[in-house]
Structure 1
Amino acid sequence: MTRRVAVIGGGVSGLATAALLAHRGDEVTVFEARDEVGGRAGSWQHEGFRFDTGPSWFLMPEVFEHYFRLLGTSMAEQLDLVRLDPAYRMYTEGDPDGLDVHSGTDAAASLFESVEPGSGRRLRAYLDSARDAYDLAVSRFLYDPYENLRGLTHRDLLRRLPRLAGLLTRPLHTHIRRRFRDPRLQRLLGYPAVFLGGSPFEVPSLYHLMSHLDLGDRVLYPQGGFTVLIERIAALARERGVVIRTGAEVVAIETEGAVATGVRVRDAAGTASVHEADVVVGAGDLHHTETALLPEALQTYPERWWRRRTPSPGALLILLGVRGELPELAHHTLLFADDWRGNFGAIFSDSPRVPDPASVYVCRPSATDSTVAPEGHENLFVLVPMPADARIGRGGVDGAGDPAVERAADRMIAQIAAWSGAHDLAERIVVRRTIAPGDFAADLRTWRGNALGLSHTLAQSALFRPKNASRKVSGLYYAGADVLPGIGLPMCLISAELVAKRLSGDVSAARLPEPAPAPATERG
């Protein structure tokens, strides 16, 4: 039976859910409040530059491949991926010599050995463990909707239980520090905690599995930027009959008793109408969906629940168009503050503040992609983790953001220039835009202005993370970074699959089966 499905939010999770459900025969409409789709994975074009305003690391390619195969296509057909070499460059405060990090166990072990004799062997063991944890996560954790605990009694988990207990209760930094002494190596292994919306001093050491992705495996980049990924998923959705309405803000989830019956939508002119549906999928910020679109009696996660939760950090994003070349920066460059613990303490403490100096991430896609900047120019995307606090303010174009935001951006630009050796960086900037926590809160409705979603603390991971279906409203489901399995583009694709599994009654920990490839004659 064809179901009418209303999807709230045109970010990657909303589009991915819509495409999957339409491919399986449902009639799907996506409602996006903004004028363009993409959500956190947005873009901005100005004076010949095109900036991704969200995700910039392409990891876990097998998740993307599986998702595309579910739609009867492949990653190779949809994306032009190139491998980055080096995977990234690292600068440390007070050390003018950067370290180029190349993916692959042999290359990574050689780098570690050159920095700390004896550490190459230990890194090989570390990456073996990371690969094992990653494989376990993909096979037993990430695709499990946790409707029951049957998946947690699988023999693969039970035989690893003593080791898993330690990995779940020991912070990542402690796990790293026991194996490596050099602070640069500790930071290199600990920084992926930021991808998880957390601190290496807080997230469980099970997440050392992240090092398998950038060191043991490879770092890729989709030519054209991450906007191309959004465009391809949106196109696949439309090809399957999905209607995508932009400038259409959902202001309420309609219910009869405790059953979802549709959504109330307000268009750009302010006119409200009701779109009837058999299924509603909330694919935006979970806090907003629960507390603003449902009456309190029907909220699975009411305001009092959120008071005990931890958001990911907020972020200051600085988009820079720069005249001339910047060989001092790789496609991905990490700059680590010397006070590593204090840096995260400033973000996550009870009295949060913007770190100064800060640990900073810089993406220079123009190192790989000629389409993102005019000839003779560079494109820089700068991300500075900071507290999730919308009161920090909003950004703007050419210095027009709130004064505190622009002063922080000035400091970060000066820091990048000094630490990387690109001393005239500020003088060569021809395009500048800042995006701050206030923008995340106002434009994307993210809780407290966070940049990524709910942090992956132990209490907010796996079976403890919000589920993909409402406990109070039948027919209401959730996808996105706040719910299972978590933060990041691959996780958002899996969350879409979890919705599809639930709607088909599949509560197993297994991935959906991929269709058999078409015969060569059919493929042409």
Structure 2
Amino acid sequence: MKKKIAIIGAGFSSLAAASYLAKAGHSVTVFEKNATLGGRARRLSKEGFHFDMGPTWYWMPDVFEKFFLDFNKKPSDYYQLEKLSPAYQVYFDKNSSITIEDDLEKIVETFEKIEKGSGKKLKKFIHTARENYKIAVEKMVYKPGDSILELISLETALRVNQFFSTIKKDVRKEFKDERLRQILEFPVLFLGAKPSNTPSFYNFMNYADFGLGTWHPKKGMYAVVEAMVTLAQSLGVKFQTNANVSKIIVENGNAQGIVVNNEELFFDAVLSGADYHFTETLLDSSYRMYSEKYWETKTFAPSSLLFYVGFDKKIENVEHHTLFFDTSFEEHAKEIYDTKQWPKEPLFYASFPSKTDAYFAPNGKEAATFLIPLAPGLEDNLELREKYFDIIIDRLEKLTGQSLKKFVLFKESFCVADFIADYNSYKGNAYGLANILTQTAFLRPKIKSRKVQNLFFTGQLTVPGPGVPPSIISGKIVSDKILKYLSS
């Protein structure tokens, strides 16, 4: 029988869930507090420039393909994909940068040139990563996180040691050159944790990097949002923007509806893709599953200081994705996860999408997004933002050998306070809960409330974890759970 389902928030997980639920014949309405859809994956447009405000990396293309295939569609029905060649560049100092090509054999050659014998080791490392990727994507990440039994299989039993060692140990055991080590440790930052806290099994992210490659959807990640919205609308999903949800209505332990812009609306089930901690504040305290103390003890992925900059020139000596590891990786990680302070000498990442796609900037100009990972919950003000903008632009000029500051047409910033204001993000985190051993699978916050019937959760604070592909998977997982519940 057709049911009415409310979804709070319009990020990737909500968009995915909305389509699955509508395909099953239910009436689905998505309520988004902001003026545009996509959650963190919004687009900023200014003076002929365009910027992806959130995610800029398109990894794990198979997950996107699987999602669209569930609706007899494919990504190319909605947007054009290009494999980046090279995938990205990493600066270590003015005279040392490494370019990661779009082909594993070429990457092996690069490693071998830098450290004799490392090419063969890399092949072995990526072979293990590929096997782990197959197990993770086919056997594990689509599970609902209800029980430890979901993780137990012949394949995982044979790899149990990989859950008790770490990425850092494995990489540093095999590779001696510090630059190669950092390149291999970098992908797990997408999981929101230090390599020293990330189980070895998660090296499947290295296969996502070197094996599957880095892609670019024409017009950016917001094109993926537009594709998912178009798909959802074709299935009958309704969207309401500027729709602020201030309460989940609960009667006799059942979610009956939501209060939107001070109006009570009633539904048969409620799904929240908004921040999990925030969603529980929409409930009376007796209906919340997790206390403030619980959230305080969790390890969160970083927040970010982001700059969206329009340059009045083309920028030289950089690639579409460029990482700046010219300061201590270890020290910056400690400042994020241990001492929780503004970094003294931050690593940073830059995206120059107009290198690949003319859509992002007027002719002869460059669009740039800069990201500095930060500890959540830090003090955030304009003075600090300006200080760090000067730091990274000075380093960018020095490392790439060009004058840039005087060519800045404009810049916009986004940081901890904005993540809180725009996304109700706990302590302004950008990526959710880190995927460390004690926060994996069944140890993450549950997708179904144990205290309120008809109430469900999706997104990066629940299973399977941070990132765009996991968020899409989370939407699939929760929709399966809701459909099973509604049919029981």
TM-score class normalised by the smaller sequence: over 0.9
Map of 1:170 onto structure 2: 165
* 1:437 corresponding residue in structure 2: 416
**Letter paired with 2:182:** R
Pick which of 111-120 and 494-503 moved more: 494-503
What is the deviation of 1:149? 4.3
Matches within 5 A, 1:488-499: 488-499=467-478
Alpha-carbon RMSD across the aligned residues, in angstroms, is 1.4
Residue 266 (structure 2) aligns with:
276
Distance 1:390 1:23, change over 3 A: farther
Aligned counterpart, 1:306: 295
Amino acid at match of 1:171: T
Displacement after TM superposition at 1:405 (Å): 1.4
User: Is residue 289 from structure 1 mapped to residue 284 from structure 2 by the alignment?
Assistant: no
> Which residue among 210, 213, 218 is the counterpart of 1:215?
210
SS in 2 for 1:50: strand
CA apart distance, 1:477: 0.8
Residue by residue over 1:424-478, the C-alpha shift from the partner in whole angstroms, topping out at 9 and shown as x without a partner, is 1111111211111111111111111111111111111122112211111111111
Q: Please give the TM-score of this superposition, normalised by the length of structure 1.
A: 0.90
How many Å separate the matches in 1 of 2:145 and 2:300?
Answer: 22
Amino acid at match of 1:12: F
- Report SS of the residue matched to 2:133: helix
The aligned counterpart of 2:366 is 378
Greater CA drift, 33-42 or 176-185: 33-42
Q: Which residue of 2 aligns with 1:53?
A: 53
TM superposition shift of 1:197: 1.2
Tell me if structure 1 keeps the 8 A contact 2:307–2:371: yes
SS at match of 2:379: helix
Partner amino acid, structure 2, of 1:109? V
Aligned equivalent of 1:477:
456
Q: Distance in 2 between matches of 1:51 and 1:149?
A: 41
What does residue 376 of structure 2 align with? 388
SS at match of 2:39: coil
Shift of 1:338: 3.5
Q: Does 1:188 align with 2:183?
A: yes
- Give the match's secondary structure for 1:455: coil
Match of 1:255 among 244, 250, 259: 250
Matching residue's letter, 1:232:
A
User: What is aligned with 1:522?
Assistant: none
For each residue in 1:369-424, what CA deviation from the matched residue of structure 2 results, as whole angstroms up to 9, or x when unmatched? 1011111101111111011125223xxxxxxxx11111111111112221232x31
> Structure 1: where are the runs of 5+ without partners?
267-271, 394-401, 507-524
| Secondary structure of the structure 2 residue equivalent to 1:392 | coil
Q: CA–CA distance in 2 between the matches of 1:356 and 1:430?
A: 27
Verify: 1:409 aligned to 2:397, yes or no. Answer: no
- Contact 1:88–1:100 (8 Å) recurs in 2: yes
**Counterpart residue number, 2:97:** 98
Q: Are 1:337 and 1:343, in contact at CA under 8 Å, matched by a contact in 2?
A: no
Q: Find the counterpart in structure 1 of residue 482 from structure 2.
A: 503
Residue 235 of structure 1 corresponds to which residue in structure 2? 230
Residue 355 of structure 2 corresponds to 367
Name the aligned partner's letter for residue 455 of structure 2. Answer: L
Number of equivalences = 485
Q: 1:124 to 1:373 in 2, by over 3 A?
A: same
- Give the secondary structure class of the aligned counterpart of 1:301: coil
Report the more deviating stretch, 28-37 or 355-364. Answer: 355-364
Deviation larger for 406-415 or 487-496: 406-415
Structure 1 residue 103 displacement after superposition: 2.9
Task: Give the SS at the match of 1:280.
Answer: strand
1:330 paired to 2:325: no
Corresponding residue of 2:110: 111
Gaps spanning 5+ residues in structure 2: where? Answer: none
Q: Report percent identity of matched pairs.
A: 32
User: Displacement, 1:199?
Assistant: 1.3
Residue 99 of structure 1: CA displacement? 1.3
Contact residue 337 and residue 357 of structure 1 kept, 8 A: no
Structure 2 CA distance, aligned partners of 1:458 and 1:248? 37
Do the aligned partners of 2:83 and 2:102 also contact (CA within 8 Å) in 1?
no
For 1:72 and 1:89, the matched residues in 2 are separated by 36
Aligned equivalents of 2:216 and 2:245: distance in 1? 34
1:150 Cα deviation from its structure 2 partner = 4.2
Residue 398 of structure 2: which of 380, 399, 418 is its match? 418
Alpha-carbon distance in 1 for matches of 2:343, 2:168: 19
On the 8 A contact 1:311/1:447 being kept in 2, the answer is no
Say whether the 8 Å CA contact 2:21–2:483 is kept in structure 1: no
CA contact (8 A) 1:390 1:441 kept: no
Counterpart in the other structure of 1:396? none
Contact kept? 2:304, 2:416, Cα under 8 Å: yes
Say if 2:19 is the partner of 1:24: no
Alpha-carbon separation, structure 2, partners of 1:153 and 1:414 = 50
After superposing the two structures, state which structure 1 stretch, 38-47 or 333-342, moved more.
333-342
Residue aligned with 2:95, SS? strand
Residue deviations 1:184-213, cap 9 Å, x none?
000000111221111112222222111101
User: Post-superposition shift, 1:281?
Assistant: 0.5
- What is the alpha-carbon distance in structure 2 between the residues aligned to residue 33 and residue 390 of structure 1? 24
Could you tell me which amino acid in structure 1 is paired with residue 296 of structure 2?
Answer: R
Confirm whether residue 141 of structure 1 aligns to residue 118 of structure 2: no
Q: Determine the C-alpha separation between the residues in 1 that align with 2:190 and 2:452.
A: 32
TM-score of the superposed pair, with normalisation by structure 2: 0.97
Give the whole-Å Cα distance in 2 for the aligned partners of 1:480 and 1:234.
17
How far apart are the structure 2 equivalents of 1:308 and 1:252?
A: 26
Helix, strand or coil for the counterpart of 1:124? helix
1:463 to 411, 434, 442: 442
Aligned-partner residue type, residue 19 of structure 2: A
Q: Which amino acid aligns with 2:336?
A: I
